[in-house]
Structure formats: C-alpha cells, structure tokens
Amino acid sequence: MVPATRMGWTYAVWCLRLQAAFRTILACTIVYTTTLYGPQPLRRLVAYPAYSYLTTILIVSDATLGEALRGFWHALYACIQVLILSILSLQLIGPAHFSYFVSSLVVALCAFVVALPGATHLMSKRIAFGQIVIVYVGTAIHCAEADELVLMHPIQVSLSTMLGASASVGAMLFPNLFFYQKASLAAVLSPYLAYDEVRQMCQKYAENARKRFDLYLNAILSRDSSAALDFILQAKPLAEAGEKLLRRIEHKQEALLWERPTIRSILNRSRFSVREKLQEVEIPLRGIAIAATSYPSFPVAMIKKLQTDALHDMKRQIHDKLEQLERFAPFYTRNKKERSLDEAFWSLETIFPEDLLACFFIDCLKILQENTEAVEECKHECSGIKSSSGSQDQSNFCTKWSSRLLCIIPSRTSLRFALKCSLSLGLAVQLGLLFNKREAYWAGLTIAISFVRGRQATFTLANARAQSTAMGSIYGILCCFIFKKVEDLSFLPLLPWLVFTSFLWHSRMYGQAGGISAAVGALLILGRKHYGPPLDFAIARITEAVIGLISFITIEILTSPARAATLAKLKLSLGLGSLQECIKDLVLFENQITLVGPKLRQKQNKLKSHVNKLEKFIEEAQLEPNFWFIPFNGACYGKLRISLSNMGNLLIIMSNIIESLSLVLQRFKPDSEKLQKPMKGIEKDLEIFKKKIGNSLQCLQELASKKSLAVHDKHDIESGTLSARENGSRVLDSEKEETERIVDSFLQNSNELSNKIATMTGLIEDHQKLRGQVTVCLGGLGFCISSLLREVKEMEKEFQVLIKLEDPSSHVIV
C-alpha cells in the first residue's frame, strides 16, 4: 500500500510540475515568436524582449487562468503608474540632463512613490520597479537621443511588459490537452482554471481526511499499543500531505474571484474562503490525532464503556460527510445542519482522570460531525448580511471605509518598505552604471523582483538568486556553443530547462526566487538575438547581478538586519504573545462568549499566521550560513513550533467545547443556587490555570525576545524571577504536583456540577442526555487544560536546551 501511495504522489507531483512547465514554455514561445519573427513595426514597439520574458516568468509560473488575469491587471496598473511618472520626469528634467547620478536619484524617487501605497499589490510594485530601472537606465545610456526618449522609450517598455502579460493569459487559455488526471472531454478542452484545481484538491483533501480519521479511530480502538502505534505512524505522512493541500488551496482561492468575478466579491474578498471551510474539518481531526498520540497505553479504558455500534455508526456518518466534501464545489455551501451525536455517547455521569482523553476524543467527534459554526458561516455567506441589524450594517460600513482610508494613508511599515526599495534600487543603478554602462540594467532588475513586504531572510534569498542566475547563464552559454551553427534551434534547449526550473521553484534550497532567476538567466541568452557574444553578456550580467545583490544586502542590513534565525526567534516570541492573548480570552459564561468569541477567533487566526511564518523561517535558517553566529538549532525550534501549533489547535477546540457547554447549561437555569457553587469553582480553576500558564508563556516570550537567550538572570519560568539554580528536581516535582492539583480540583468541581444537575430531575426533558453532554464537555476541558500545561513544560525543556547552546555554563532550571 505504501509503495502504491508513494507512486501516486510522485505521479501527481510530476503532472503538476509538467503542466506548469508546459504553460511557461507556451507563454515564452509566444514572446519568442513575436519579438523575433513578428512584423517589423511590432518588433520595434516591443523593443525589450528581456523584460517581456521577465514579466512572463513572474506571472505564469505555477499559475492558473485566474492568477494570470490578476497578473495582467497588475502589469497594466504598473504600466500606467510608470508611464505617468516617467513622462512627467523626462519632460521636467529633460533626457539630455540624465547623468548617472541624476538617473539613480530619479530611480530612487520613483521607486519610493510606487512602493509607498499600502493597497497596491506586491506583483504590481515589482513590475513597476523593473520598468523604472529600464526607463531611466536607458535614458542615461542614450541621453544623446533626447527627442525620441520622452515618449517612445516609456511606451516601448510598457508594451514589452504587456506582451509578457498577454502571453501569460494566452498560455492559460490553451486547452488542457496534456497532464490532466481525469478523462473528461470538457475538462481536457477547458482552460487551466483555478476552479478545477481547487475542486480536485478539495476531493484529495476529503480522501486524505477520511483515511486519517480511519487510522486514528483504529488506533484509539486498538487492543494493544503496538497496533495503535502502527496506525499512528501511517497517519503521520497523511497529516503532512493534508496540511500541504490546505496551503495550496489557500494560495489558489483568490484566483477563483478572477475567474468568476463580481464587483462585490473582488471588493470584499474576506467573504470568500475555501480553506476556512476545510479548516473546520482539519481542526477536530488534529484534536483526534492529539488524543491518539497522548494516551500512554491501549486499549483506552473509557472506550470500553461506550457501545461499539455507536462508534461504527459515527464512523459511517462522518464518512458520508467527507464523501459529500469530495463533491465539493467552491461556490456551493451546505445549508443543512447535521444531527447531534448518538445518545450512547452521553451516558457518562462521573469523570475520572483516566477518562479525560476519551471525553476529549468524543468532543472532537461531536465538532467534526455537527460543525455547527461552519454551517452558520455558510448560511451567512449565502444570505449576505440579511440577518444583520441596522446598527451592525452601519458599523460594518464604517469599518470598511476606515480600513480603506488606512490603506491610502501610509503606515510605518509602508514607509520603511518604500525607503528600503528606494535606496536599494538607487544604489544598484548607480554602481551598475559605473561598472558597465551597456549592461547596467541588470543590477537594478535583479533586485527589482526581489522585494518582499516586511522582513525576509536576506542571505538565503540573495544566495538563491546568485546561484540560480549563474546556473541559468552558464546553461545558456553551453547551449549557444552547442547550437552555434543552427541558431534558429537555440530555443529548443529551453524546453528541458524550464521543466527543471519548475521543480526548482518548489525546492527548499532555491524556492521561488531561485526558480525565477534560473529561468530568466537562460531565457535572456537563448531567447534573444543581437545582444553580442553570449559569453561576454553572461559575465557582464552575472557581475551586474552580484552588484545588485550586494546593494540589496547592504540596504537590508542597514534598514532591517535580519537573518532567518533572527526572524524565527522573533516569530516564536510573537507566537507566544498571541498564545497568551488567546488564553486570556477564554471564558465560561454565554454572555461573555458572545462578546469575546469573534475577538478570540481573530487572535487564533493571528496565532496560526505566526506559526506558519515560524515554520517558513525555520526551514530558511537551516539553509543559511552561520558566519560568526551561534549555529541555529533547527531541531529545538521545530519542536517549539509543533508545541505552539498543538496549543493553538487545543485552544480552538477548547473554545468550541466552552460554547457547547454554555449552550447546554442555559437549559439548566445556571443562575440557580445549586449550580452557582460548582460553576464558580470551575471558573476559579480556569482562572488559576490561565494565570499559571500565562506566567510561564510570558517568561518564555521575554526570553525569546532577547538578542541572546543566555541573558536570563532576571527571569524564571514560573514566577518571573530567578529562583532555581539549585534543587532543580525538587522544583520540577512541585510543578508536577501543582499541575495535578489544578486538574484534580477541576475534576472535583466538574463532578459536583454533574451531580447537582442529576438532582434536577424532571425540570427539563432529556435531562440524562444533557447531563452526559455536560460531563463529556467538562472532561474534554480537563484534557485541554492538562495537555496545555504539558505542552508548556515541553517548551520550557526546549528553551533550556537553547540556553545551554548559547551559554554552556548555564544551570538555570527552565
């Protein structure tokens, strides 16, 4: 089974990569034939085929029709911006006055103007940066031809850009004659749509989720630990594949809006999220995975108390639900609420410590089956804002306009980004012109497409671009030497190279930056003519590219000196801070939940964003040179990321359980004196838990926010002050006892609440079933509390390893 699955995965990856390469080859072929064999007037207008290729690679690589249409719009917007700026500046200054210094200064100023608006898409800014470099470097080189440069030069640059953008859209409109996995005539003859790709990925995810659910359920129902471990190990690669599918769906979902556009959907993109719908299946599955991997031995004791038929019936119902998901279409939503769990799951009355895991498992099953929140969100999306009150409409209207005004007004981040782009491009153009006047374009163009909002791993990105540029250029030189006598066939060697770069694009070592640089490096030599000897051009271009990268690194270090390891540490600190905020917002009563719920979900999404970025920077830091810095401990940071992710998932499930518990308790008159005492006890236990875990996370965050973890003399994980250099084992034992005391107190109050509810016989119908629901919800909360405390202890151990790495003489107990 494993080899077959591996072969299927390999086949699917090859199909995706070959399809992307085929579209790239098709778009580059359109540019090649137009610029070399098109009519003479057209060739004179598109005088910069190099930038046509660059625009094509930026847009078409790993794209669908929707993404190509979006890229076309961004290219058009960039052309309008640059045309206005360049014509005005050329008219005011005059092309004859553009010396090297003036050209560099104008490049810097125009780049600042383009980069400043926060609402402009990064793709549009990158294309505009490249156009600015070509316009003003060309003006500096050909300043003697003053009369022709004012209008024709910017127009030629814009038309060359739009040729690349149009070729990208044309390549996406070509039918799916090859590399399509389903034998459907309509699918084969249709363009390469994001709609079809998202639908296929949804089907694959549903199949993946069903297999994982089966494996986790089999593990929990196993009679021995070895069989359970085997099931868990089989599910691990499936979980990784499921996460990759979700990320790819998120990456593609904006393209859906461009394939079926409406004015409302384009302006209000937050209303549409395929990944969020699937995430509501993923989170309870992760909870079930945590339950399966947390139990020390099998069989699980409490599972014996449940009816096996009920579990198998639940399995069948969830299978039916996932089969419906396999027929998922991104523009259709569910509007039918799933029925509740079978009464056989609610026959529990008393919670014992060994029952916590099984209670949590049942809670995850309930969330997975009912998914009430997902159904309500789907209904909300289908009905728009019909259920909103007038005041809510007014507040939403004000919020939308305030957010749009904030996009227009430059923020501190936008100013920093604009300053960084301006200085980098200006310096690169100045040094490039001084070194080689004729090929000075490439110093600026190399970094024009490199800018990213926020901070980035500078050395990793520069290294990938430098190596890939050299690889592509050397490949082009070798092919020119081989096809020296048949120059008309020199384009053919590009076909295997573009296939190779499609794999390079998705590699960890080179990534998107390396894939673009490698493809462009070969295209500029094999896709053009009349640019001089290939060897001389390649050497000059590589040198200019290095000049540009040196300028880029210099300005990055001066404005935001950030290594990938530093960024990983920063994201770890921000993730710990977000985790604290999520824990602070945990409440038990329904009126508080109504107020805090949406805010809590926003903070949970923020935490998830930090965890995803932390994973990215960990991968980059492991590839980054250490220089004189302390080696990056990728294993420790990886474990910390997993703990942070697990805690985020537990908090999401915990908030769902609290909502369900509050809804059930409403039917028992929670204001009555009988229930007030145990409910206040549970609330007090929750506050003690929040205080304890909050103190620990705050101290971990303070450690992570320091430049060196070795500076810890004022921090202790439990109290915030140094108190444990000696008697470490005694401290750890007391911490373990305190954790057990919190959980035991919570269980005692929970059982008291359950017993009080049992005495209210006859007040409501189905009281026994509702009492069982309360019991299982409280058991699930107890498991979440104990698991969160356990995860914090694991994080403390990893921090101790990091501290010892930076300061081997340290003996602080973390």
- Residue keyed to tokens 């027929």: 327
**Residue carrying the six token digits 């050209």:** 103
Position 720 pLDDT exceeds 80: no
Q: Which of 352-366, 383-397, 431-445, 587-601 has the lowest mean pLDDT?
A: 383-397
Distance, in Å, from the CA atom of 135 to the CA atom of 84, rounded to the nearest integer, reads 12
Q: At 709, phi and psi to the nearest 5?
A: -65, -15
Alpha-carbon torsion angle 466, 469, 472, 473, nearest 10? -110
Helices marked H in 527-671 — which ranges? 534-559, 564-584, 590-623, 634-665
The mean per-residue pLDDT over the stretch 466-474 comes to 89
Number of C-beta neighbours around residue 268 at 10 A: 12
- Tens digits of per-residue pLDDT, 230-247? 888 888 888 888 888 888
Q: Where are the chain's structural domains?
A: 4-179+412-559, 193-332+346-375, 584-709+732-806
In the prediction, which pLDDT does 166 show? 94
Could you tell me the pLDDT band of residue 185, with boundaries at 50, 70 and 90? low
Query: Of the spans 18-32, 39-53, 74-88, which averages the highest pLDDT?
Result: 74-88
The 10s digit of each residue's pLDDT in 20-31 is 888 888 999 999
Q: What is the DSSP letter of 530?
A: S
pLDDT of residue 524: 84
Residue 484's pLDDT band, with cuts at 50, 70 and 90, is confident
Is the pLDDT score of 724 beyond 60?
Answer: no
Task: Evaluate whether 148 touches 44 at the Cβ level (below 8 Å).
Answer: no
Give, to the nearest 10 degrees, the angle between helix 564-584 and helix 590-623.
170
Look-up of token digits 């980059």: 620
What pLDDT does residue 480 have? 85
126 versus 261: which is more confidently predicted? 126
Are residues 433 and 133 in contact, defined by beta-carbon separation less than 8 angstroms? no
Q: How many CB atoms lie within 10 A of CB 242?
A: 23
Burial 23-59 (b: 16+ CB within 10 A, else e): bbbbbbbbbbebbeeeeeeeeebbbbbbbbbbbbbbb
Q: Using one digit for the tens of pLDDT, what is the confidence trace for 164-181?
A: 999 999 998 887 665 555
Q: What pLDDT sits at residue 110? A: 94
CA 685 to chain centre: 35
Average pLDDT over residues 714-742: 53
Tell me which amino acid residue 665 is.
L
What is the spatial distance between Cα 76 and Cα 67, in angstroms, rounded to a whole number?
A: 14
**By the 8 A CB rule, do 182 and 295 touch?**
no
| Cβ–Cβ < 8 Å for 144, 437 | no
Residue 807: per-residue pLDDT: 67
Give CA separation, 32 vs 171, 333, 446, 483, in Å: 13, 44, 21, 17
**Buried residues in 452-473 as b, exposed as e (16+ CB within 10 A):** eeebbbbbbbbbbbbebbbbbb
Contact residues for 104 (Cβ-Cβ < 8 A; gap 6+):
426, 427, 429, 430, 433
Element (H, E) at 470: helix 458-482
Instruction: Say if residues 168 and 142 touch (Cβ distance below 8 Å).
Output: no
Q: What is the longest distance spanned by two Cα atoms in the chain?
A: 98
- Mean pLDDT confidence for 577-588: 85
d(CA 769, CA 668): 12
C-alpha distances in Å from residue 221, one per residue of 290, 291, 312, 603: 15, 12, 11, 35
CA 324: distance to chain centroid? 26
pLDDT classification of 269: cutoffs 50, 70, 90: very low
pLDDT at residue 145 is higher than 70: no
DSSP one-letter string for 721-736:
S---SS-HHHHHHHHH
pLDDT tens-digit readout, 632-682: 888 899 999 999 999 998 988 888 888 888 877 777 665 567 777 888 888
When comparing pLDDT for 557 and 108, which is higher? 108
* Pair of tokens at residue 319: 């299978």
Q: What is the pLDDT of residue 305?
A: 58
Q: Which two tokens stand for residue 621?
A: 């830091």
- In terms of Cβ atoms closer than 10 Å to its own Cβ (0-12, 13-18, 19+), residue 402 is exposed
Structure-block tokens of residue 627? 């220089």
Q: In the structure, what pLDDT confidence band is assigned to residue 373 with cuts at 50, 70 and 90?
A: very low
Q: Per this entry, what is the length of the chain?
A: 814
Rank 127-136, 531-540, 709-718 by mean pLDDT and report only the highest. 127-136
Please give the Cα distance from 789 to 719 (Å, whole number): 15
Any alpha helices (H) in 221-303, and if so which ranges?
225-259, 263-267, 274-294
Model confidence at 425: pLDDT above 50: yes
- Nearest one of 551, 559, 267 to 426, comparing CA atoms: 551
Q: How far apart are the first and last CA of the chain?
A: 44
What are 411-422's pLDDT values in tens digits? Answer: 788 888 899 999
- Cα–Cα distance between 85 and 82 in angstroms, integer? 5
The string over 627-659, giving b where at least 16 C-beta atoms fall within 10 Å of a residue's C-beta and e elsewhere, is: eeeeebbeebbbbbbbbbbbbbbbbbbbbbbbb
pLDDT at 336 over 60: no
Which pLDDT belongs to residue 407? 53
- Residues of the chain with pLDDT > 70, as a percent, come to 76
For tokens 């060697």, what's the residue?
493
Rounded Cα distance, 330 and 255, in Å = 12
Can you tell me the distance from the alpha carbon of 426 to that of 136, in angstroms, rounded to the nearest whole number? 11
Instruction: Read off the amino acid at residue 437.
Output: K
Calculate the CA 814 to chain-centre distance: 31
Q: Which of 355, 363, 514, 526 is nearest to 450 (CA)?
A: 514
pLDDT computed for residue 132 by the predictor: 94
| Section 499-522 average pLDDT | 85
Phi-psi region at 720: left, alpha or beta (left = phi > 0; alpha = psi -120 to 50): left
**pLDDT of the residue at 140:** 85
Q: Are 109 and 123 in contact (CB under 8 A)?
A: no
- Which amino acid type is present at position 61? S
Rounded distance between C-alpha atoms, residue 400 and residue 797, angstroms: 45
Residue 399 has pLDDT above 50, yes or no: no
Average pLDDT over residues 592-614: 74
Structure-block tokens of residue 367: 């969330």
Q: Cα–Cα distance between 341 and 552 in angstroms, integer?
A: 59
Top-confidence residue, 407 or 22: 22
Residue 334 has pLDDT above 70, yes or no: no
Q: Can you read off the two tokens belonging to residue 52?
A: 């046509």
d(CA 505, CA 169): 20
The string of pLDDT tens digits covering residues 199-234 is: 888 888 888 888 888 888 888 777 777 888 888 888
Please choose, from the candidates 574, 635, 654, the residue with its C-alpha nearest in 3D space to the C-alpha of residue 608: 574
